Chain A
Amino acid sequence: MDTEEIYREMANSIVSLDQEKAVHLANQALDESMDLLQVIEKGFGEGIRKVGDLWDEGEFFLPELMSGAQIMEKAVDIITPGLQSSGSERQSSGKVLLATIEGDIHSIGKTIVATMLKANGFQVVDLGTDVKAEKIVDEAIKGDIDIIGVSTLLTTTMVNQKKVIDLLNQKNIRNKFKVIFGGAPVTQGWVDECGADGYAENAVESVKLVKELIQ
């Protein structure tokens, strides 16, 4: 089997949600001293992108999307020590900070977004739930973050999303970060009113949005 064929097999193992095969191929990549960066990018990474597309097109149920991400994570975990010992690093697509805003403890949507971003090569700093705008901005500054993602499920706590933008403006650092919103009540109108950079209705859309904004 030539290298390109192995990459295709790796991608297929993610798309067919075959964890055993993905683990086997990840170990094979280590054993055969393959180019591990390419293994992630051209092999498993291609698979997780296809999984996202399949969910987006209505072909996959949510657990299948998450299964793809779970298998991707396992494959990357196997490969990472080999990458580190060779002095390489998976090239980050960008650094995203995620938080559910103050007053709201809903986490599952944000965690799904974090999982899909990680699977697509982004570094994710997840501050958890019920996070004050001040903390989000402080951590974004400290963490050299590219994109701040703020989630909420309620109209009452949605107003706190705007505080993040207001704080960035007050500190004259608004242009250092892209800010995106997520959550059931968020609309384009709200994003425009707050001066945020975008919103996404689901995890796959959020990956696309982040990719667009980071270019």
Chain B
Amino acid sequence: MVQRRTYEKISVKKEDVISYLQPNGNFTKKLRAKEIPKDLESQIDQLLHIANDFMSPKGIFQLFSVNDLPKRECFAETQQVALAIVTIGVKLPSEVNRLMSEGKYVDGVIFDAIGSAGVEKVADLVNLEITKIAEKQDLSFSSRYSPGYCQWSVNDQRIFFSHLPADDIGVTLSDGYMMQPIKSVSFAINLGTNIKKSKWETRCKNCEDRGQCTYRLS
């Protein structure tokens, strides 16, 4: 059965926001060791304080038998797959566009990072519910994974949108498989008795080409 969730308020962690504000590349580790300047930290605090007014966190998910889904490498070891879509809505991305167009670049990039951390927080909440269901059924479960990562084609966004009533939470899919609002995330979690053999969903972490391929992960 489809599960719909609306969250009054989510608590976005400052550390998560900061992680989106670091540069990519070889210097990330150095920066992690470096303390964030106090004035920047307080600016992030201020924006975090008002961020909930710009977010409408919602999620939708359902568990499917693997036999009800198209055959895919990522579903090979599982009995059930939870499909989920989450969003924080349109207001925050619109605010980011407004800030950037008015030359308020600092607030703009911080707010954008809050949006990215915010939608992942919603994903965490839905993720947690799914794993609790798995535990009740004595099933093990994978980490969450999404189309466009670890060689799962982004075209498979279609699977989510053909199996879940995403309109209910205001998320649509474009012809190019892009979700709108842009701060939306779709993900799958495998549930079963023997799903951890290949660790399919985390294989990019050990890949030699990590950071170099089209599925670039830093």
Q: A: which residues have CB within 8 A of B?
A: 55-64, 66-67, 69-70, 73, 103-108, 111-112, 115, 153-158, 184-185, 187, 190, 201-202
- Show 9 A/B contacts (Cβ-Cβ < 8 Å), sorted by A: A61-B22, A66-B105, A103-B175, A103-B178, A112-B105, A156-B178, A184-B216, A187-B212, A201-B24
Contacts of B23 in A (CB 8 A): 55-56, 58, 60-62, 202
B26, B154, B176 — most chain A CB neighbours (10 Å): B176
B64 CB to nearest A CB, Å: 24
B105 CB to nearest A CB, Å: 4
Task: State whether the Cβ of B189 lies closer than 8 Å to any Cβ in chain A.
Answer: no
A108 CB to nearest B CB, Å: 5
Contacts of A57 in B (CB 8 A): 27
- B96, A108: Cβ atoms under 8 Å? yes
Q: Given A62-B22, A184-B216, decide whether A157 and B176 contact each other with a Cβ distance below 8 A.
A: yes
- A63, B110: Cβ atoms under 8 Å? yes
- B21, A155: Cβ atoms under 8 Å? no
Stretch at the interface among B36-44, B163-171, B197-205: B36-44
- B40, A63: Cβ atoms under 8 Å? yes
**B33 to chain A: closest residue by CB:** A58
Contacts of B30 in A (CB 8 A): 58
Contacts of B154 in A (CB 8 A): 154-156
B210 CB to nearest A CB, Å: 13
A65 CB to nearest B CB, Å: 8
Q: Given A66-B105, A70-B106, decide whether A103 and B176 contact each other with a Cβ distance below 8 A.
A: yes
Contact with A along B135-158 (1 / 0, CB 8 A): 000000000000010000111000
- B40, A104: Cβ atoms under 8 Å? no
Cα A58 to Cα B27 with chains together (Å): 5
B192 CB to nearest A CB, Å: 29
